């Protein structure tokens, strides 16, 4: 049987590989790093396991539960409770998420801004409407025929235009309502309204943490891969691809370890810049080239990791702390010193002996490279970079103590990571959510101009764990 290659083993590639193996394909995963998982990897500091890019998800709801069952890893991946609040430092606004669906969230925000009650409800009613018209959220009943009905009335407007059309002119509301933009990375002024809704829905309605985070997923996937004889090749990339002279198809792949595999299909779950150079120019259409020419990265994060003294009994909690309400600037490069937000997660995970705390401040890889005069390849021991890391550790701690004054003297930082560290987990770009989704710019997802090659991943479809899994499932159903 010919090989089906899945390139990249983040949550997108892992989900795709297992769905293909379940469909009887002989699957090999090609992963550049020495380990599988990409951003869902946990890592260890002082005996504690910390998450890289999986701190919470949009509740287990029907979609995630359904997907876990389809993948047969529901016994490994279990929810853990978490509450959330948003603090806007410039206005003193502090709102706790009810975590009981969109109506409850709309009521909660409206109680703080009664003049805007109708418009706030219109925002979340529209979000629900988008989800109701996105059949893939109903994973168990989703079919190929449903795919075409995914367009909604809102497809032609941005989140910012929705605000303008609905009289939502208050800066605080323009930060609170699309707060989950911080979980997909496209600023409201650029972001198609339905894309925002699909990424934000579960997070708005019913947030959840995951017991053992990415470790739970990776355990489940490894077990299922063993059942289906999925071949995992780590520390490996594709050196070159061979193509038919008569048809637009790929016939074989030569890997960095020297072996050549005969190819059935290839699924690229990596950034387009990692696979486009492998495809022959003669097969690429002008539309494809234009679409990929101006891809813009999303933000990444500067992160601090630590533990909290146990006697505080701090519960699992997510806090979005915004120094100012300008989400558009926060999510656009060039505002490192002036606009940022810090997400903070307190976690009592069964894997850990103590409560852990992670705070991540929005930041762009390109801004760090410019400020520190380094590149992704040479930053490690650069004096300016070391100084920058110390400086931002302190800046983030100031935010943390504004949000959690009780943590002063009881929070012990044991690690930091910059956006450049992220480029090790998700090479070559290192942005948290792949590429920004712009209005009127379709993503390169699904079949590529080479007929047996496909693109997926948060670069290609939706970011976030659930989005990446749904993207892979969509591709599997589309055949």
Ligand X SMILES: Cc1cc2nc3c(=O)[nH]c(=O)nc-3n(C[C@H](O)[C@H](O)[C@H](O)COP(=O)(O)OP(=O)(O)OC[C@H]3O[C@@H](n4cnc5c(N)ncnc54)[C@H](O)[C@@H]3O)c2cc1C
**Strand positions, DSSP E, 191-316:** 209-210, 231-233, 238-243, 250-255, 260-268, 300-308
- 470-to-140, 152, 185, 425 alpha-carbon distances in Å: 12, 18, 18, 21
- Rounded to the nearest whole angstrom, what is the least distance from the CB of residue 475 to ligand X in the complex? 12
CB-side neighbour CA atoms (13 Å) of 352: 26
Q: What is the CA radius of gyration of the chain?
A: 22
DSSP three-state, residue 465: helix
**Pairing verdict, β 411-417 and 300-308:** antiparallel
Nearest position to ligand X, beta carbon: 10
- Rounded to the nearest whole angstrom, what is the least distance from the CB of residue 87 to ligand X in the complex? 18
DSSP three-state, residue 269: coil
Binding site for ligand X (CB under 6 A): 7-13, 30-33, 38-40, 53-57, 237, 269-270, 274, 300-301, 303, 360, 422, 426-427, 432-433, 457-458, 463-465, 468
184-209: b or e for each residue (b if 16 or more CB lie within 10 Å)? bbbbbbbbbbbbbbbbbbbbbbbbbb
Instruction: Return the number of the residue (264 or 343) whose C-beta is nearest ligand X.
Output: 343
Instruction: Return the number of the residue (116 or 471) whose C-beta is nearest ligand X.
Output: 471
Instruction: Return the number of the residue (13 or 98) whose C-beta is nearest ligand X.
Output: 13
Instruction: Return the number of the residue (52 or 134) whose C-beta is nearest ligand X.
Output: 52
Taking the C-alpha atoms of residue 122 and residue 295, their distance in angstroms, rounded to an integer, is 32
* Sign (positive or negative) of CA dihedral 467, 469, 474, 479: positive
**Pairing verdict, β 209-210 and 79-80:** antiparallel
- Rounded to the nearest whole angstrom, what is the least distance from the CB of residue 52 to ligand X in the complex? 6
Instruction: Return the number of the residue (82 or 119) whose C-beta is nearest ligand X.
Output: 82
Instruction: Return the number of the residue (124 or 433) whose C-beta is nearest ligand X.
Output: 433
- Rounded to the nearest whole angstrom, what is the least distance from the CB of residue 171 to ligand X in the complex? 26
């Amino acid at each position: 049987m010919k090989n089906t290659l899945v390139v990249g083993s983040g949550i997108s590639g892992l989900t795709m590989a297992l769905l293909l193996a379940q469909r009887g394909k002989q699957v090999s995963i090609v992963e550049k790093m020495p380990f599988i998982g990409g951003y869902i990897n946990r890592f260890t500091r002082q005996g504690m396991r910390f998450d890289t890019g999986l701190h919470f998800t949009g509740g287990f709801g029907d979609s995630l539960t359904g997907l876990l069952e389809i993948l047969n890893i529901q016994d490994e991946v279990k929810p853990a409770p978490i509450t959330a609040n948003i603090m806007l430092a410039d206005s003193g606004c502090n709102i706790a998420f009810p975590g009981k669906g969109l109506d409850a969230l709309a009521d909660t925000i409206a109680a703080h801004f009664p003049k805007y009650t109708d418009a706030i409800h219109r925002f979340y009613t529209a979000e629900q409407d988008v989800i109701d018209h996105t059949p893939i959220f109903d994973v168990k009943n989703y079919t190929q025929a449903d795919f075409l009905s995914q367009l909604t009335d809102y497809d032609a407007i941005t989140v910012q235009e929705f605000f303008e059309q609905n009289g939502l002119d208050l800066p605080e509301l323009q930060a609170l309502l699309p707060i989950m933009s911080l979980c997909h990375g496209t600023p409201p002024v650029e972001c198609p309204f339905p894309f925002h809704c699909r990424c934000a829905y579960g997070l708005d309605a019913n947030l959840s943490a995951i017991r053992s985070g990415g470790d739970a997923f990776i355990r489940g996937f490894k077990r299922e891969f063993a059942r289906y004889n999925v071949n995992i090749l780590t520390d490996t990339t594709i050196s070159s691809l061979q193509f038919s002279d008569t048809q637009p198809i790929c016939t074989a792949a030569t890997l960095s370890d020297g072996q050549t595999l005969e190819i059935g299909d290839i699924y690229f779950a990596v950034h387009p810049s990692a696979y486009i150079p492998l495809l022959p120019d003669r097969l690429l259409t002008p539309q494809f080239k234009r679409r990929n020419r101006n891809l813009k990265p999303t933000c990444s994060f500067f992160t601090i990791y630590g533990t909290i003294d146990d006697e505080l009994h701090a519960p699992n909690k997510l806090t979005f702390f915004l120094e100012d309400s300008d989400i558009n600037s926060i999510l656009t490069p060039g505002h490192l010193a002036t606009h940022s937000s810090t997400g903070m997660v307190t976690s009592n995970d069964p894997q850990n002996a103590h409560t852990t705390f992670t705070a991540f401040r929005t930041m762009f890889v390109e801004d760090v490279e410019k400020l520190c005069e380094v590149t992704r390849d040479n930053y490690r021991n650069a004096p300016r970079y070391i100084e920058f890391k110390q400086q931002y550790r302190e800046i983030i701690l100031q935010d943390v103590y504004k949000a959690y004054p009780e943590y002063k003297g009881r929070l012990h930082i044991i690690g930091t990571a910059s956006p450049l560290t992220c480029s090790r987990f998700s090479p070559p770009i290192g942005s948290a959510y792949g590429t920004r989704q712009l209005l009127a710019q379709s993503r390169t997802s699904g079949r590529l101009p080479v007929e047996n090659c496909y693109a997926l991943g948060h670069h290609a479809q939706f970011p976030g764990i659930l989005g990446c899994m749904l993207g892979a499932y969509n591709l599997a159903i589309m055949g």
